[in-house]
Amino acid sequence: GENVEQHPSTLSVQEGDSAVIKCTYSDSASNYFPWYKQELGKRPQLIIDIRSNVGEKKDQRIAVTLNKTAKHFSLHITETQPEDSAVYFCAGCGGSNYKLTFGKGTLLTVNP
């Protein structure tokens, strides 16, 4: 089955700096890669996703890149703000298997 590794487990940045979280996956059949943000005490919410026919996708200050050859994808947050502080989860999903396999999460702290 799919295995998704996520790094780093914790990340601390200064407000205004960029943050990058990286994930690798094992199943070459995976074709859908979402990113979820979970604020303290709240449910995980989808913030951006990418499919395997696209190399990069951007939505305002967040972007995701995908390298299918290397089987890794990354979340980029620019101009970070304190409200970006949360746990971020990457996931992979592929082929006929609809289940998402999640990474272990990254706790991002943006210091004012």
Partner 1 sequence: EADIYQTPRYLVIGTGKKITLECSQTMGHDKMYWYQQDPGMELHLIHYSYGVNSTEKGDLSSESTVSRIRTEHFPLTLESARPSHTSQYLCASQNSGANVLTFGAGSRLTVL
Question: Which residues of the chain form contacts with partner 1 (CB under 8 A)?
Answer: 32, 34, 36, 38, 40, 42-46, 49, 87, 89, 91, 93, 98-100, 102, 104-105, 107
Taking the complex as a whole, the smallest distance from the CB of residue 85 to partner 1 amounts, in Å, to 12
Taking the complex as a whole, the smallest distance from the CB of residue 87 to partner 1 amounts, in Å, to 5
Taking the complex as a whole, the smallest distance from the CB of residue 104 to partner 1 amounts, in Å, to 5
Residue among 45, 33, 50 at smallest CA distance from 92:
33
- φ/ψ (deg, to 5) at 83: -70, -5
Question: CB under 8 Å to 98, separation ≥6 — which residues?
Answer: none
Residue nearer to partner 1 on the CB measure, 3 or 81: 3
Residue nearer to partner 1 on the CB measure, 59 or 79: 59
Question: Cα–Cα distance between 80 and 83 in angstroms, integer?
Answer: 8
Residue nearer to partner 1 on the CB measure, 61 or 99: 99
Residue among 100, 75, 80, 86 at smallest CA distance from 7:
75
- 3-class state of residue 82 by DSSP: helix
Residue nearer to partner 1 on the CB measure, 16 or 95: 95
